[in-house]
Structure formats: structure tokens, C-alpha cells
């Protein structure tokens, strides 16, 4: 199965890298940028055919390794 785990900062958490990207976009002349928040994307191939078990395994992986759940949210999308 293929899956994508997207990790983003929770709202209200300062995102200095997002602010730096925002400033860089403005300096490049990209107009209309109100704000930028950055995150991480993990594309994962995992063995097994049971969608529920796959989602459970990825949730455990995200909680233990991929995301800092104190300051980050994560979303799991199993595509096949």
C-alpha cells in the first residue's frame, strides 16, 4: 500500500521557516502572499492489504517518530 503522512505545525505555533519563506517570496516579487506555513510530507510504501491495519501502523509511526504531537498535527492518506 502507498500512503502519505503530512505533518504541519498546530495553529498558534510560531513558524520561523514559514516567515522566512514568506519574506523571500515577497523579495522575489510574488505579490498577494498573506502568510506561509511549512511542513513535512512522508510518502511511505507499506506491505499489507488491510487498510485499517495500515492506518493504525502509520498513526503509531507518526505519533512516535514522524511528528512532535505537542506542536504538530498529522494527517494520513492511504492511496492504495
Other CB atoms within 10 Å distance of the CB of residue 5 = 20
Q: Render pLDDT for 2-55 as a digit per residue (tens, 0 to 9).
A: 999 999 999 999 999 999 999 999 999 999 999 999 999 999 999 988 999 999
Domain that holds residue 18: 2-78
Cβ–Cβ under 8 Å, residues 10 and 74: no
Taking the C-alpha atoms of residue 39 and residue 18, their distance in angstroms, rounded to an integer, is 9
pLDDT above 80: residue 80: no
pLDDT at 48: 87
Under 8 Å between Cβ of 18 and 36: yes
What residues pair up with 76 in beta bridges, in sequence order? 5
Q: How far is CA 8 from the centre of its chain?
A: 4
CATH number of the domain enclosing 61: 3.30.1280.10
What domain count does the chain have?
1
Amino acid at each position: 500500500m502507498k500512503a502519505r503522512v503530512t505533518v504541519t505545525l498546530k495553529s498558534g505555533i510560531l513558524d520561523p521557516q514559514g516567515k522566512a519563506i514568506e519574506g523571500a517570496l515577497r523579495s522575489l516579487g510574488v505579490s498577494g502572499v498573506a502568510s506561509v506555513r511549512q511542513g513535512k510530507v512522508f510518502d511511505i510504501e507499506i506491505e499489507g492489504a488491510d487498510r485499517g491495519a495500515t492506518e493504525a501502523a502509520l498513526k503509531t509511526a507518526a505519533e512516535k517518530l514522524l511528528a512532535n504531537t505537542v506542536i504538530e498535527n498529522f494527517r494520513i492518506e492511504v492511496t492504495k
